[in-house]
Structure formats: structure tokens, C-alpha cells
Structure 1
Amino acid sequence: MRHGARTRRGALGTAALAVSLTVSLTAGCTHHGRADDRAPQHTPAPAAPTTPSAPAPSVTAAGSPLAVKIDNVPAARPQTGLDAADVVYAEQVEGGLSRLMAVYATRLPQTVGPVRSARESDLELLRQFQRPTLAFSGAQHKLLPLIHRAPLRPESPDRAPAAYYRGTAKAAPHNLYLHPAKLLPSAPGRAALTTGFSYGPAPSGGTPTAARTVRYPAARFTFTWSAERHRWLVAMDGTPTVTTDGARVAPATVVVQYVRIRSSRYHDVLGNHTPYTVTVGSGKAQVLRDGRSFDAAWSRPAATGGTTFTAADGSPVNFADGQVWVVFAPAP
């Protein structure tokens, strides 16, 4: 299922990406030096973010998922539609803060956001999917040519203004929201999740784990096991993570993936280099499921493939069915 989707990626490459994306950076920038503040040209009447709708029907054929860059500073919380994502990636950005990328394949919520800017390492991470749609608010102008050439479908407010709107509950730039149905006619289905993840019964062994915290220089994630819900309850910077409708974000599986985080060639307006999260290669990881932590090794030999997680004996470390959070932590 997953491998079939990836084998078609090469044929979709340059020709599919001849579509031009014009992102103007003449508007005011955020403290990260990106064009996140500008409202779409044709913005619907501003409104507070709406509650996610019922899941859209899935299709059985492999397709292209929707990836959305989501703001994660305290002023952007609570987010909308985060609980509907199949996979949530957490990455370190400038100033030691964090940002999220939510991937949607099995269902599309009515609204997702707040939407923020793309980073160079997002392009490497997204190579595992078959020409995914990337929803983002903008990017550093020197990064835009790379986004043009990447094997994805970039959809910023400049390209798809009708898909975005400014909410009234938060101040700009933390109030840009997306209507996914304006970008995808329906959810592509589980086959579009060409992540390499293995799902199934829990491995043997493991260490009983009540909570696990991952720290960045200026952000932290805590995952606390709930035996009642059989899920990991997410807290960010010490505050429980809920959506705008009050639902607690609670993935079934949490992955702490140790990766190399280096400086990229890009920087913000203060001269701080943007971190680049390296997701191709191999390293150590911990997989949290069913109230236990399992040591694992991760491997992604090529950008066009997904990431596998294996135990010491080489057997796959299965994930539990449900939402997965992958937190990219600095390798020790």
C-alpha cells in the first residue's frame, strides 16, 4: 500500500511542479522574518475558528495527503483541527520554539489552524508522500525557489486565497485558518500515509511509563498516559493541549525520534539561523504506546521512503491504531 504510492513519485516530479507559486513578501513579517502577517486577498468575513466537522469519506485508492504547518507559540493556542490529524510532527524552530506539521489523510476537519510558515527541512520530510498538498502561510523569500521545485503542491494564501480566512479570536499573525475542503475534494484515505510506520499488536517487553517530556530550548512537550482513555494526553509548556472546541489532544502513539538538528542557510530578521531537522538517516528512538516505552532504532535511507522503527532483534515496533505524534528531539 505504502510502497505503491511512493513508486509513482518520480513520474510526478518536474512536470507536475511546473505550476508557478508566487508568494509576495512585501507585507510585514513576523519576528521570524516570514510573510505570515498578510491577510488573503479575498478573505471571507472574519470569524472565530469553527469546530471540526464530521470526518469526510475516505477513498480506497492511494492519494496525496494534506500537510499543514501549524503555529505553536502560546498566543496561537488552542489550535483547531489538530485532533483530526493522522500524524503530527513537532519540530524545533528559531529561538528554541516549536512548530507543528499536521498530516491529514483519513479525514478532513472543517477548519485547521492557525497556519504558519514553511521551513527548508519540511521539504525533506514531505518527500515520503506522493506529491502532498502543503498548506502554509508563506516562507523566507530565498526558500521559495526550493518550494517551487519540490515534489509537492504548495498552497499558500497567495495561491488559494479562498481557502484561508482570518479569525477574530487571536491577533495576527496567529489567526490565519484553512478550510481543507477548499484544497482537497475529499480525504485521500489511509493508503496516502506512506510514512513507513508499522501498526499492530504491541511489542513484548517495554518499560512502564506514566509520562514522558521532551524539551527544546524554549518549549516542551509532555505526554501523560491515561489508562481510562488508553491514550497519551498532550501538554505543551505545562498546559494541557486542547482544541478550540475543548477536546483534549490524545494520540495513541508517541514517537521521540532523536535526529541531528543543524543550522540551515536561512535566518530570521534578527540573524538567528533557522534550524534544519535532518530526517533522512538513522538513529535512536522511543516509541510510547499502551502505557509503556519501547526502545527502537529508526531508519530512513532515502528521502523518498518512509521511516521504519525496529527493535534490537530487527522486528518492527508496531504503533497502536490512531493518531501518531512524532517529536524530533536533538540527538545526544
Structure 2
Amino acid sequence: MKRRWWILVAVVALALTTATLVVARSLSGPSTAGDPAGSTQPVPPHRHPVFAVKIDDVPEARPQTGLGAADVVYVEPVEGGLTRLIVVYFSAAPALAGPVRSARATDVQLLSQYGRPTLAYSGAAPEILPALHAASFVNASPQEVPDLYFRDPARPAPHNLYVHAARLPSDDVPPGEETPRYGPVPPAGVPASGYAIGYGAARFEFGWSASTARWTVSLDGSPVTSTESGAVTAATVVEQRVTVRYGEPGEYGTVSGSPIATTIGTGPATVLRDGLRFAASWTRATPDSPTRFHTTAGTPLPFAAGPLWILLVPA
């Protein structure tokens, strides 16, 4: 009888121990058994939908609205040596953005790396409209969402069209990979206090401010400002050298042809971050792939947290 009692005690103790281990395992998370790395695979973070707005940057359009909220600002070459901005928001779109201007062929290839973003633009040449409507983004011109646009009578047309950016429609399809990629500063940078990038009829200058840990932004000798936030700054600046071809006369609605920047492939680049300048290269394999940057030694070159300016410059 005494022997049976001890067996019963042992069975109960074993059951309690097993139950304790099961509870402990359930509280500590999934088992890592069978994982060669010794840990569970990380869950990708939620990526918010992306909104992009074509914004004018000629003198009549300044100061613009909505630049202060930008996550990424692309500068692209357009006709006559001028430039235009593609302002990208994925943290939060501002209440207003503008002046809104027309889309270009460059936008179709460039924005495809962002999943299925929304593109707000004033319109486009008839020759490019089929490509825009077939592209992997939500078209949000006044033709599709007229109630979201208005004109400021205090400014001259066509530099007076604005969009209620925070109300833009979205398909809620974020990019499949982290775009852009942020991270710690790598080695191989050299100190830089300023940098200038020239186009045919526009010149951008960036100056490092150690007190704010940001690059100041100037265009044609004047600071770039935004009506809602004041002076515009950047945490990282990229000069991305790209192949540019010019459309045949009339191909995209212009007499001399419109510059079309190729953003798939590889090429040289210069990256400014943390008061340093990096000689770099960029690569992008497919329309759905993100653009990645590396030092000349092949080390990944992520960006500093904060606003990012990428200037597409003819190679």
C-alpha cells in the first residue's frame, strides 16, 4: 500500500512538472526547435501605403507646400534643363501639397519600387496617359478625384493647383521590401561641409549643420522653404547618376522630346549623411525591386533616419 502511495505521488509530480513546462513555453513565445539560426524568423514590420505628389519647383511655384512632411523628395530632370519634384509620403501625408504639376515618363518606372502607391498629378501629355493608367500606381489626377483639388487665386496659373493630400485614395499595397533602407552610418565616409548638384537651368546646394544634424537645402541660391514648416532640411542627400534619353519629338507631348531617366540598372552615386560624403554605387534589378546603395568597397550604405533627398542626375 505504501509503495502504491509513492508511485501515485511520483505520477502527480511528473504531471505538474510537465504542465509547468508547457505553460512556461507558451509564455516565452514559439519554439525555436529546428531553426538553424536558433531563433524564430522575424515578422516583417507593417509598411504603410505610399503617396506621391508631383510638385513644381520653378521660381513662380515657391515656396511650396507639403515639403516639410516628405519622407523622400526626388528631383528629376525635365525640359529645358529645369527640374521637378516627386514628393513621397509613407509616414503621413500632409493636409495640403503643391503646386501640383504634370506627370512624366520617368515617374512610371521610378515609383514601381513602392508597391502600388498613389500618384497625384495635374495631368499629362496625351502620349503618356496610357502608360500612366497602366502603371502600378493609383492615378489621382483632377480627372479621377476632382473634389480634392483647388486653385489659389493669389498665385499665377499653372503654378497654383493644390491637392488635399491627406484625403488621397489608396489601394493600401505597400512595397514588398523596406524602401528606402535606413541604418547606422558605415565606414569610409569623408567629412563634407557642403555639396552642389547642377542641372542645365537649376542648381541645388546642400550644407551640413552640425547643430541640427541635417543638411540645409538651397535652390538657385535661395533656401528651399515650405509654407507649413519653414526651411526644408534633409538627413540624407543622394546624387544618383542615371542614364537619360530624350523622347522623340512628340513622343511625350513636347517639341524637342522629354528627358526620361532610367532608374533600373546600376550606376555611380554620391551619398551625404552625418556630415560625411560617400563615393557609392546604386543597383536596382527589376521594376519591383528597391534601389540599393553601396560604398565603393561593396558595403551596404543605408540612410540616416529623417528626410531623404534623391537627385536623379544625367550620367
TM-score normalized by structure 1?
A: 0.77
Measure, in 1, the Cα distance between the counterparts of 2:156 and 2:177: 36
User: Is the 1:70–1:99 contact (alpha carbons within 8 Å) kept by the matching residues of 2?
Assistant: yes
Q: Cα RMSD between the aligned structures?
A: 1.9
C-alpha contact (below 8 Å) 1:128/1:195 kept by paired residues: no
Superimposed CA distance per residue, residues 226-254 of structure 1 (whole angstroms, 9 cap, x where no aligned partner)? 11111000000111001114611001000
Which residue of structure 1 aligns with residue 184 of structure 2? 201
Task: Indicate the residue corresponding to 2:15 in structure 1.
Answer: none
User: Which shifted more, 259-268 or 209-218?
Assistant: 259-268
More helix by share: 2
Matches within 5 A, 1:229-268: 229-245=212-228, 247-265=230-248, 266-268=251-253
Letter in 2 for 1:142: E
* Residue 275 (structure 2) aligned to one of 291, 298, 302: 291
Q: Sort the Cα spacing of 1:154 and 1:105 in 2 relative to 1 into closer, same or farther, 3 A.
A: same
Q: Which residue of 2 aligns with 1:321?
A: 305
Corresponding residue of 2:294? 310
Q: Please, which of 100, 103, 120 is the counterpart of residue 118 of structure 1?
A: 103
The one-letter amino acid paired with 1:304 is D
* Equivalent residues of 1:261, 1:277 under 8 A apart: yes
Structure 1 or 2, whichever has the larger Rg, is 2
Give the structure 1 partner of residue 54 of structure 2. Answer: 69
- Give aligned pairs, total: 269
Three-state SS of the structure 2 residue aligned to 1:319 is coil
How far is 1:255 from its partner? 0.4
Contact 1:300–1:307 (8 Å) recurs in 2: yes
User: Which position in structure 2 is the counterpart of 1:167?
Assistant: 152
Aligned counterpart, 1:25 = none
Distance in structure 1 (CA, Å) of the matches to 2:110 and 2:57: 19
Instruction: State how far apart, in whole Å, the 1-side matches of 2:118 and 2:212 are.
Output: 32
| AA partner of residue 138 (structure 1) | G
Partners of 2:138 and 2:170 within 8 A in 1: no
Find the residue that maps to 1:173 and give its secondary structure.
coil
* Unpaired runs of at least 5, structure 2: 1-44
Q: Does 1:301 align with 2:263?
A: no
Paired amino acid for 1:280: I
Shift of 1:182: 2.2
Higher relative contact order (CA 8 A, sep 6+): 1
Taking the aligned partners of 1:306 and 1:192, their CA distance within structure 2 comes to: 8
TM-score, L = length of structure 2: 0.81
1:97 counterpart residue number: 82
Q: Which residue among 130, 133, 152 is the counterpart of 1:148?
A: 133
Give, in angstroms, the shift of residue 309 of structure 1: 0.4
Pair 1:107-2:116 in alignment? no
Question: CA deviation digits over 1:132-183, x for unaligned, max 9?
Answer: 1110000000111111111111011111011111113311100000101221
Structure 1 unaligned spans of 5+: 1-59
Cα deviation, residue 222, structure 1: 0.6
Q: Secondary structure at the match of 1:126?
A: helix
Q: Does 1:79 align with 2:71?
A: no
Out of 208, 217, 221, the position equivalent to 1:225 is 208
Q: Does the residue aligned with 1:302 lie in a helix, a strand or coil?
A: coil
- Residues 174-194 of structure 1 deviation map (CA, whole Å, 9 limit, x = unaligned): 0000101221489x79x6595
Give me the whole-angstrom Cα distance separating, in 2, the residues matched to 1:71 and 1:198. 27
Q: What is the letter of the counterpart of residue 117 of structure 1?
A: S
1:278 aligns with 2:262: yes
Identity %: 46
Between the aligned partners of 1:171 and 1:131, the Cα distance in structure 2 is: 33
Supply the distance in 2 between the matched residues of 1:246 and 1:64 (Cα, whole angstroms).
Answer: 23
2:77–2:312 contact (8 Å) kept in structure 1: yes
Q: In the alignment, what sits opposite 1:3?
A: none
